Amino acid sequence: MTGAPEHGIPEPGAPEPGAPEPGASEPGAPEIRGIPLAAALAAWTAAAPAAERACDLPVPELLRRFHPDHRPGGMVTLQAGPSAGAACPAELAVLLLSDSLLDDIDIAGAPIRDADVLVLGGGGAGCVAALTAARAGARVLLATKLRMGDGNTVMAEGGIQAAIGAEDSLQRHFEDTLRAGHFAADRALVAALVGDGPDCIRWLIREGMGFDLGDDRQRMGGTLLRKMPGGATAARLLSYRDFTGLEMMRALREAVLLTPGITVLDRHPALELLTDDRGRCGGAVLQDLGQGRLVLVRAGATLLATGGAGRLHLAGFPTSNHYGATADGLVLAHRAGARLREMDSFQFHPTGIAWPPHLEGALVSEAARAAGARLVNGRGERFVAELAPRDVVAAAMLRELAEGRGVRHDGGTGLFLDTPSLEREQPGILGKRLLTLSHLAHRAGFDPAREPFLVRPTLHYQNGGVVIDPAGRTTLPGLLAAGEVTGGLHGRNRMMGNALLELVAFGRRAGAAAAADARAERPRNLGLNHLAGWRRGLLAAGIGLGRKGPMLFPPYGHVTAEGLLGHAA
């Protein structure tokens, strides 16, 4: 590996097993618990493939003691707004209780555009919603923060769930989803998701998306390959190699560009929703990043598809999320009057890269564990069923690290993902089915057929979000939502593969409802009508107006929303 010996074969002069790594105990440095790399590699080599060891803690206790959602002092209570009283991470609460970046004077004289349906967000959910609304006859304006397709959808590697197997059923998918989410999900939303599943796959195939085929493709003319996702009772995960989301986004982007009635505005993030004098949402104020000006879009229906909040780095974790995942949709919806739910629940993907530092947080797809790759601690032991629900696997990994059984290397700690044993057991799998994994290893400077990955949990997904009904309508009239910005579908933990299904199922549902709503009476007297009440609420709760939001981009970037508008940062 670049800048260090290959961690599969210690070089001459490397520390003896059990010896501390150079620099691990430098004066003044924080203590890093764990087993030095050389000793851990020796233990892994001796044990590979490691035998399974059952977790000795009941799941509720494991989650309570080690999952980041339960960290001491991590949650606060929202003090204002429609979700006042709800628990929320402190980092997110600061934004949810922020004042607007705008005043009435800021939008005076801004150019105005009109549409039947305004879609905010150009990832998978936004594109599906735009396609559905346009095909229903609506004039659609799709506004993105970055460019169409720049979002978390393209990074969804493992696959999409749908109950299409003869041994599977909609009921099993329904029960698996509820169980994985600790029975906190809205059953009507889950029923809508799983019921739409088979037709969503047919719809994607008609849009031109490719899927992996099983070994019987020559005999039967093509049967979709199904794999077992974590937490499931049947093999229902469909994939395109290990870059399913990228393939999906390719097909959706091409469809949007070829569909009449859709106008795309790249690099136009939303700074505020527009509301009328009856409290109905009627569009949004966009920031044209190219021209440096505000644009008002009036619409019969507005649809949020702005994604999640990973770039807030909750609890200091790295994230797999794209650069624009800064909770904008949550901030705007909450401020305008839409309710939120389960904002104290986030998913930490078990296998984010722990080393090298420049790739920290990048995902090793769950497809690797679905194929049989094992998680191994610094003693050469397996410590959890790799295909247990993600919150259980992540908490078990964090326990190993906290109790000193992780692998210490280069100032950090992680655990092994045993890809060499997987390659030995299934020759060629890394080069044929797990291409993204192999490319990631190449970027890190090692051969995954000879050396294990060093991984640890990374902030991955927002389980909660804006409250919606099965049609995608929020509690704020005129505002709909789809995708990761919404809450209620996953409960307190999301099953892998349900995110890609969600963006198709609820993108279609919300897009159809938005097109229908746009034909009703249009909002009138549009402006920033909700801000006066919002500001009174903040002041009544003892919260000042100094903090502005949304953030738009992480603070370590070169631009902020306040800077774009000329406000003091």
Higher pLDDT, 127 or 26: 127
**Contact at 8 Å (CB) between 461 and 245?**
no
pLDDT of residue 521: 83
Look up residue 466 and give its two tokens: 């804006």
Q: Does pTM surpass 0.85?
A: yes
Give the span between the Cα atoms of 386 and 394, in whole angstroms: 10
Position 23 pLDDT exceeds 50: no
- Residue of 531, 493, 535, 480 whose CA lies nearest to 138: 480
Position 460 pLDDT exceeds 90: yes
Domains 35-66+349-459 and 104-345+463-517 share a fold: no
Architecture of the domain made up of 104-345+463-517: 3-Layer(bba) Sandwich (3.50)
List helix spans (H) across 20-100: 37-47, 59-66, 90-96
pLDDT of residue 146: 94
pLDDT of residue 219: 44
Give the span between the Cα atoms of 278 and 346, in whole angstroms: 34
Position 401 pLDDT exceeds 60: yes
Give the span between the Cα atoms of 34 and 48, in whole angstroms: 20
Mean pLDDT computed over 107-127: 97
Amino acid at 300: G
Confidence of residue 457 (pLDDT cuts 50, 70, 90): very high
Confidence of residue 10 (pLDDT cuts 50, 70, 90): very low
**Sheet of strand 340-341, all strands in order from the earlier edge strand to the far edge:** 340-341, 465-467, 486-487
User: Which segment, 29-33, 89-93, 226-230, is predicted with the most confidence on average?
Assistant: 89-93
Position 24 pLDDT exceeds 90: no
| 510-554 confidence digits (pLDDT tens) | 999 999 999 988 888 999 999 999 999 999 999 999 999 999 999
Q: What angle do CA 83, 88, 90 make, to 5 degrees?
A: 130
Mean pLDDT computed over 453-458: 97
Please report, rounded to a whole number, the percentage of residues in the chain having pLDDT higher than 70.
91
pLDDT of residue 526: 96
**Contact at 8 Å (CB) between 144 and 268?**
yes
pLDDT of residue 11: 33
- Roughly what angle, to the nearest 10 degrees, separates helices 244-258 and 498-517? 20
Extents of the domains making up the chain: 35-66+349-459, 104-345+463-517
Mean pLDDT computed over 190-199: 98
The residues annotated as belonging to the active site are: 390
C-alpha pair distances (Å), 470 with each of 68, 192, 488, 532: 30, 7, 10, 31
| 33-66 confidence digits (pLDDT tens) | 899 999 999 999 999 999 888 788 999 999 999 9
Within 10 A of 214 (CB to CB), how many other CB atoms are there? 12
Look up residue 197 and give its two tokens: 């599943």
* φ, ψ of residue 298 in degrees (nearest 5): -95, 135
pLDDT of residue 366: 87
Position 22 pLDDT exceeds 50: no
Position 2 pLDDT exceeds 50: no
Phi-psi region of 233 (alpha: psi -120 to 50; beta: other; left: phi over 0): alpha
Enter the DSSP assignment of 473: B
Higher pLDDT, 285 or 371: 285
Enter the DSSP assignment of 14: P
Q: What is the mean pLDDT of the chain?
A: 91
Confidence of residue 432 (pLDDT cuts 50, 70, 90): confident
Confidence of residue 200 (pLDDT cuts 50, 70, 90): very high
In sequence order, what are the residues at sequence separation of 6 or more whose Cβ sits closer than 8 angstroms to the Cβ of residue 118? 140, 141, 143, 283, 284, 297, 299, 301, 302, 303
| 208-226 confidence digits (pLDDT tens) | 999 999 875 444 446 999 9
pLDDT of residue 12: 28
Mean pLDDT computed over 248-252: 98
Confidence of residue 408 (pLDDT cuts 50, 70, 90): very high
C-alpha pair distances (Å), 410 with each of 7, 35, 38, 353, 413: 11, 12, 12, 14, 8
CA 162 to chain centre: 19
- Residue of 291, 209, 283 whose CA lies nearest to 250: 209
Position 558 pLDDT exceeds 90: no
- Reply yes or no on domain 35-66+349-459 having CATH 1.10.490.10: no
β strands within 305-447, DSSP E: 340-341, 346-353, 374-376, 407-409, 412-418
**Contact at 8 Å (CB) between 505 and 287?**
no
pLDDT of residue 198: 98
Positive or negative, the CA dihedral 335, 469, 270, 69 is: positive
Phi-psi region of 174 (alpha: psi -120 to 50; beta: other; left: phi over 0): alpha
pLDDT of residue 559: 61
pLDDT of residue 354: 96
Q: Which residues pair with 480 in a beta bridge?
A: 303, 473
